[in-house]
Amino acid sequence: MVELLARRESLPAFASFHMAGHVDNDGRAMGEAIQRVVQRHGLRRPRLVPFQWGLIRVASWFSALPRELLEMRYLWDTEVRLANDRLLSVLGHEPHTPLDEAVEATLRGQGCLPQVQPTLERRHLRSQSPS
């Protein structure tokens, strides 16, 4: 996005660009990325289990949210991709963060991973800054 901002003067005022992003062909790539990242941080590897659509169906008798989830179930099985043609024509490439790196940043931001200890250099600089 920084690359697009650098070219904002040459772009239309409300230009929109899609990113192709990550494609999870078998529905397991995201779960397996979470497993790898969590394990790399010394935490217990989470178990992957299929989504329990049957329970959602039963719950839909009593609540609107499960009914709405069932209405959108087709999205679980239907591939949806955004075309990045405009982005490629402007930048020549799509900026891309590897899946494990993106998952790690997300889990860290949500407080699901141990915080990284500051390096000695950062601690030293922090102790010298005026309060």
Asked, for residue 31, whether it belongs to a domain, the answer is yes
Asked, for residue 38, whether it belongs to a domain, the answer is yes
Asked, for residue 2, whether it belongs to a domain, the answer is no
Asked, for residue 89, whether it belongs to a domain, the answer is no
CA distance 41 to 103: 13
**pTM score, two decimals?**
0.72
**Of 98, 92, 99, which is closest to residue 3 (Cα–Cα)?**
92
Q: What is the pLDDT of residues 54-73, one digit of tens each?
A: 999 999 999 999 999 999 99
Q: Report which secondary-structure segment, H or E, holds 60.
A: none
Q: What is the pLDDT of residues 89-99, one digit of tens each?
A: 999 999 989 99
Q: What is the pLDDT of residues 5-61, one digit of tens each?
A: 898 889 898 999 999 988 888 889 999 999 999 999 999 999 999 989 999 999 999
Asked, for residue 43, whether it belongs to a domain, the answer is yes
CA distance 102 to 116: 16
> Which tokens is 19 given?
């990113």
Asked, for residue 10, whether it belongs to a domain, the answer is no
